[in-house]
Every structure is written in structure tokens, then in C-alpha cells.
Homo-oligomer: A and B are copies of this chain.
Amino acid sequence: MPAKPQRLHVHFESNRGKPRIFQVHPEDVKAACRRHPELARRLRITVGFDREILADALQTADLMVNSDPPREDLRAMAPRLRWIQTTGAGIDGLLPLDWLPEGVTLTNNSGAHAAKAQDSGAMGLLMLNAGVPRLAGAQREHRWQPVYSTPIAGKTAVVIGYGDVGAAVGRAARRLGVKVIAVTRSGDVRAPADEAVPVSRLSRVIGRADFVVVATPLTPLTRGLLDAAMLARMKPGAGLLNIGRAAVVDYDALRSRLASGAIGGAVLDVFTPEPLPADSPLWDTPGLTVLPHITCDDPRYIAHLLDFWFANLRRLLAGRRLANIVDPLRGY
């Protein structure tokens, strides 16, 4: 009997504390293997939760899918490991990447969020334009308080971060006739925008926005970017949509600008910590809609992740460069 060709060992690791749609279960992997049978034959597969079998699995794993890989002494734990795929797009919880062993490639799930982000971008802009966050407060108090808004076409959105999520919001905005000013690290954009500026010029363009959209990962460059001084430069009555990361915006300063009416309304999908504690003052802030981190997440998320992972595996086996490699310097 001829020797079997060497199989690659992939370990899928999930945290039961996360919502089910972000957990990789054995049935998810089996379904994905049925969609990719030729690649699946090349694999030995283990699936674990809450690190119950992680140490064992890593002794032989070549590949790992895991949003929270063990960072202490990873090379000693996982001598054969060469590729880690994270389950999520944002990897701010893993920064800095000084724990990543030499020879291990880290890829993220950036791009999985585009369809939902496009829907949510359109929804958020339209809700802000119509004043829905304020109207929800009036509903709570049984107050009939009509506020009439002009159509959204012709207004301007400043979109901070123009990766997959930001570009999806930009696409949604432009379909609504909204002019898009993209703000990126370099001022270059890979997706269509009406204007693009580097983040160093944010303070010069933010005052033109009817809507400010935060769609950036959390990096040392973006943390605290929308501080009190930057928020104060927003046009009176403008709206804020945050579907990026909470720590990009000073939420205390935002609350006081919402209370005074200087900022017309806000739709926030991201918080620190999550779940947002029941005693957070954000829940009852006038003009503020709290969404429970849902704007970019599709319930078919893991199925899409696994399809993406198999496509990347095909690249690996063909000796090609993987998609979505995280740049340790940029942090995304």
C-alpha cells in the first residue's frame, strides 16, 4: 500500500462566549468540506471550544482558525504552525503583533462585511437624515414631534476609513446621491469616492459633512481620532454613524454635544465594552440610537469565512500569496 500523501492538520477554535454566528461548529466545517471536497481530502481537521483541546491540537496543527490565538510562547506550543486565520475582520485585540512567531502568516476576515455594511451604511445615513434617533426618543415619551427633513440626495458624508466596510458605506451613500469624502491613512483610495484626503486633513473636511461615518479599524492612528475638539468641528446638526470601533470616538464628548443639540443624532453600533452594560448612560442619551454590534454581520458569516478560508488554502497549496495578510506595521 503506498504511503498516503501528508495531510495538513487544521484546527478550528472558537469561544462559546461569542454569539453563535461567530463560532465554528463541526457541522459548519462538514458543510464547508462538502462544498470543497478536493481540498477537504488534503486535511486532517479538529474543532475545539474554549481551549479545551487547543494545547493538544497545536502540537501537530499546521493551520489554525481562531480569533483569539494563544500568544504566550506560541512557537513552543505549535511547532508546525504556519498560518493563522482570524474569524473576525478587526484584529485590534491582537495588537501589537510582537507575539506572532517568525514564519507564521496571519490573515483576517476583512471583506466578509461588505454586503451588510452597505445596507447598514444606507440605513444609518437615512436614519440620521430623517432624525430617527431623536424621533425614537419622542416615541419613548409618547410625544408627537414631527421634524421634516429635505431629501438626502446632494448632502455630504465624510467616511473615515475606506477599506471594505468604509467603501461599502461609500457605495451606499453614492447610490443615494450623497457626496463622499473618504478619509484614509494616505489619502489614497482603492474604491470610488468623490474626494479623498489623508487623515491628517480630517479637521479641514469634517465641517463639510452632513454625516460623519466611522468605518476604520482601531489602530494607534485612529484611537481617539474623533475627540472633543474634532467633534466640535462638525457642522451644527450633522449626524454621526459609528460602525468601526468605539475607541475611535470620545463618547463622553459625543453625549454632551448630542444633549446640547450641536450634533443632530448618532447611530452607534460599537461600544467598549460589549455587551454595553445596562447602567451605561449611552442607552438613554437623547438623539442616540444604540445598535448591538449587528451592522456588519451576516448570519451566514461562518459559511462565508470557511469558503474564504478554503479559497486561501487553495492559494497556499499552489504556492501563491494568501489573501488578507495582516500587515504587522499597519495593524490591519
Contacts and interface: CB of A to CB of B under 8 A. Distances in A.
Number of copies of chain A assembled together: 2
A148 B283 contact: no
A292 B152 contact: no
30 contacts: A19-B146, A116-B151, A119-B130, A119-B152, A120-B130, A122-B122, A122-B126, A123-B123, A127-B127, A130-B291, A130-B295, A132-B289, A132-B291, A135-B292, A136-B136, A136-B289, A139-B289, A139-B290, A142-B279, A144-B274, A144-B292, A146-B292, A146-B293, A146-B294, A147-B294, A148-B301, A149-B294, A149-B298, A150-B299, A151-B298
A119 B123 contact: no
Given A136-B136, A278-B142, A289-B139, A148 B294 contact: yes
Contacts of A292: 135, 138, 144-146
A21 interface: yes
Interface size class of chain A, counting residues whose CB lies under 8 Å from the partner chain: 35 or more
A15 to B, nearest CB: 15
A129 B119 contact: yes
A33 interface: no
Given A139-B283, A140-B140, A292-B145, A119 B299 contact: no
Contacts of A45: none
A7 interface: no
A126 B144 CA distance: 23
B130 A294 contact: yes
Interface of A: 19, 21, 115-116, 118-120, 122-123, 126-127, 129-132, 135-136, 138-140, 142-153, 175-176, 274-276, 278-280, 283-284, 289-295, 297-301
B150 A300 contact: yes
Nearest to A148: B299
Nearest to A138: B292
B175 A275 contact: no
Do most interface residues of chain A lie in helix, strand or loop, or is the interface mixed?
loop
A313 B149 CA distance: 28
Contacts of A146: 19, 292-294, 297
B275 A148 contact: no
B149 A276 contact: no
A301 B150 CA distance: 9
A21 B148 contact: yes
B115 A153 contact: yes
B297 A148 contact: yes
A294 B147 CA distance: 7
A116 B136 CA distance: 19
Contact of A150 (B126, B148, B175, B298): B298
B135 A126 contact: no
Contacts of A153: 115
